[in-house]
Amino acid sequence: MKIIADENIPCVEQAFASLGDVELLPGRGMRAEQVRDADILLVRSVTRVDEDLLAGSKVRFVGSATIGFDHVDREYLRGRDIGFSTAPGSNAISASEYVISALVVVAARDDIKLAEKTVGIIGCGNVGSRVLEKLSALGVECLVNDPPLKAQGGHENYVELDALLQADIITVHVPLVTEGDFPTYHLVDKTFLEKLKPGAVLVNASRGAVVDNSALDDVLDRRDDLSVVLDVWEGEPGISMSLLEKVTLGTSHIAGYSLDGKLRGTEMIYRAACKHFQHPVQWSAANELPAGHSVDAKQFIAGDVPGNICKAVLDCYDVRDDDEQLRAVLSVPPQERPVYFDRLRKEYPVRREFQTVTISGAGIDKTSQAALQGLGFILL
């Protein structure tokens, strides 16, 4: 079989080699003539998969190594009996750790204690639920808004969106939905933004258009008390330089970009393809992952729970590094900025998850131990 794959899907050649010949292409701007003779198409969120791309092609299976599917016309695929799979939850751990790193940085900058704050979580699916678990482990009070889950029952404690306006921190984790009972396009709009409490923090690591970027830019012109963390942007890769200059932390849509999460996504669509074509599974992501690393607990200070959390989190992943890389785009010629944004994603350095870090040694206090274990670190 012929397999066309986005060149930025990690280990895609190794994973799919037993299924056929793999040809790598840039995902953004993939064209119909490039996929016409393919049996399998493997993409990420930057490729729009619809009739324009697939009409007249031989494609029998589409795999998207992403948690979302707003870039795929699923009705068209169903109508043509084309198999389809995404990788739900593959990068959820990574994205939740991005949020923790960002909040740790903001808390250290503003000299605040997260345990004394209230966090509003919009969307409690794969990512949001993990954010909730990690923040709860840190003793943070959380309010959750998720109308689709509430409608399914069993979530009577979930609150309405406006109730989150009482929170000190709001973090967004919903798919981009433009139709139906629960649309999320510009869910966080100008009205909502203007009602944020003084000193509030807003984090968006879901999809750019869930937050009205133009309205956010305007609100930040008038409210310098707000702290905003954006990993996703409207108009990617041609993002707003004006907005980038105003946010506290800005990154290039890499919240879910841990090596562990990316390989998890590759394996999920590989296994789905094997099932679709009744082919034996012959590859595992575990064989591609390097060993984790250890941290000596002697660097931690007994009783300094916020400080110990900050040290462990930023030693594993410091979001400020990604913020610095994206801000460099401000000195890039305007016509080259979209290419620069995409290159940051393509050439993203190896990043591991908290669960690959072992903290060894005696002396760390039990409260810090419980918090670090709740975040996912391994303690010996």
- Looking at residue 223, the DSSP 8-state letter turns out to be -
In degrees, rounded to 5, the angle at the alpha carbon of residue 317 between the alpha carbons of residues 96 and 5 is 70
For the question of residue 253 being annotated catalytic, the response is yes
Cα separation of 291 and 315, whole Å? 16
Contacts from 323-329 at CB under 8 Å and sequence distance 24+?
323/249, 323/250, 323/251, 325/251, 325/252, 326/244, 326/250, 326/251, 326/252, 327/244, 327/250, 329/241, 329/244
Q: Which of 28, 44, 173, 236 is catalytic?
A: 236
Active site residue 236: yes
For this structure, is 324 an active site residue?
no
In this structure, the number of other CB atoms found within 10 A of the CB of residue 78 comes to 11
Q: Report the SS3 class of residue 365.
A: coil
Q: Among 253, 271, 337, 352, which one carries the catalytic annotation?
A: 253
Other C-beta atoms closer than 10 Å to the C-beta of 80 total: 13
DSSP, collapsed to helix, strand or coil, labels residue 107 as helix
Pick the catalytic residue from 44, 130, 173, 207: 207
- Which residue numbers are catalytic? 207, 236, 253
